[in-house]
Amino acid sequence: MSLKHFTAAIAAVGLIASLPAGAIAAKAPKTDPDRDGLSNKVEKRLGTNARRADTDRDKLKDGVEVRLGTNPRVKDSDSDGVNDGREVAAGTDPCPAHANEVRGAVASVAADSVTITKADATTVTLTVNADTKLRIPDTDGSGTVTLADLKAGDKVGARTSTTDPTLAVGIAVKREYQEGDEVEGAVSAVGATSLTVTKEDGTSATVNVNAETKLRAPDRDGSGKITLADILVADKVEAYMSATDPTLALSVKVEAKGTKVAGTVAAVGADSVTITLADATTKTVTVNASTKLRIPAADGTPTGTLADLKVGDAIKAKTVTGAENTTLALCLSAGVFAGEDGRGRGPRGDDRPEQEDGPRTQENRDEQGDDRRGGRGRGGRDR
């Protein structure tokens, strides 16, 4: 890794090497209140913020940056105009270019190739085939990403084959994301293709979405696909906007932390369970196709359905607000999988409601370890 791209860094290689291995792995809340994988002692030595999981606000936790070799105090470790978190999300390397990576601006595009002008003004032509992974905006709105969506001047990062340096394994457009491209607040209205978000300062912003916008929300309708219909008024959201169109969201995330409910089964419906809580009140939770169930089946495995529940069974669930003022269970465990007392104190191997900031879709399941925000203030936003 070339050190010339890290002149503003904190001599990470030498400093990290001097730290005891156990210190970096510390996870205890008392020593790592922001849950970024670095103890307070390590953060002090690194110069990072011990109360903010992501000191440089580049959507990578400080501990992750240490493992990757990027600088947790600098948003753009390789000084290429794109912050480290965006590079990781795009599948490009936030560290200086590797031997099998080409970075630069698109000079021209052909039917099965692209010519890239590198920083040194030299050009390289890369062949593209059906196996090449394209991370390119659908600029023509066709619904299918092709080379036709690339434009001259686009900044790209391309990975080439280790056996054929003229063949592109992947190509990603590298946009420059500017400060101020975030909208955070509570949803005040939901439209067919937009959200209205009321920010903390009381002002409102219209956030448009299209087919390319990544939505992260509870699958409230159980359809298996997250749409605007799964976002409700009063939901707290973080939206990251396009640098070229500040009204268009690249991604929208609902910050649904979820509420734990535990007790015993009072009644079972076709798509709901009524739970008697410790204070003798009852709570009815809805179950849909997205709810993760761990219910004892006849053979004792956790593959049962609501039909296998019996009145009096111990039960616990993690819930969020569902459609039409219902309470939706993100996950539900019963019987031995809920703990004999119904409070979730079963064997460690049994199911526990997933600990997460928001709904666990396939996309954020992959980044769960890097997307927690425990102990941070507003300044520690994770992009």
- Lowest mean pLDDT segment, chosen from 14-28, 212-226, 326-340: 14-28
pLDDT of 344 > 70? The answer is no
User: Which tokens hold the place of 17?
Assistant: 């090497």
pLDDT for res 363: 39
Q: State which H helix or E strand residue 241 sits in.
A: strand 236-241
What is the CA 31 to chain-centroid distance, rounded? Answer: 25
pLDDT of 99 > 60? The answer is yes
This model's pTM is above 0.85: no
- With beta carbons less than 8 A apart as the criterion, state whether 188 and 203 touch: no
Asked if the domains at 101-173 and 259-362 fall in one CATH topology, the answer is yes
Q: Which residue has the tokens 């619904």?
A: 143
CATH homologous superfamily, domain 259-362: Nucleic acid-binding proteins (2.40.50.140)
Stretch 7-22: mean pLDDT, rounded?
43
**Angle at the Cα of 152 from the Cα atoms of 147 and 156, rounded to 5 degrees:** 70
Render pLDDT for 169-198 as a digit per residue (tens, 0 to 9): 999 887 554 444 688 899 999 999 999 999
- Mean pLDDT, the chain, rounded, equals 79
- Delimit the domains of the chain by residue range: 3-85, 101-173, 182-254, 259-362
pLDDT of 164 > 70? The answer is yes
Stretch 339-368: mean pLDDT, rounded?
41
Render pLDDT for 108-149 as a digit per residue (tens, 0 to 9): 999 999 999 987 889 999 999 999 999 888 877 787 889 999
Phi first, then psi: give them for residue 14, nearest 5 degrees: -70, -40
Q: What architecture is domain 182-254?
A: Beta Barrel (2.40)
> According to CATH, what is the number of the domain 101-173?
2.40.50
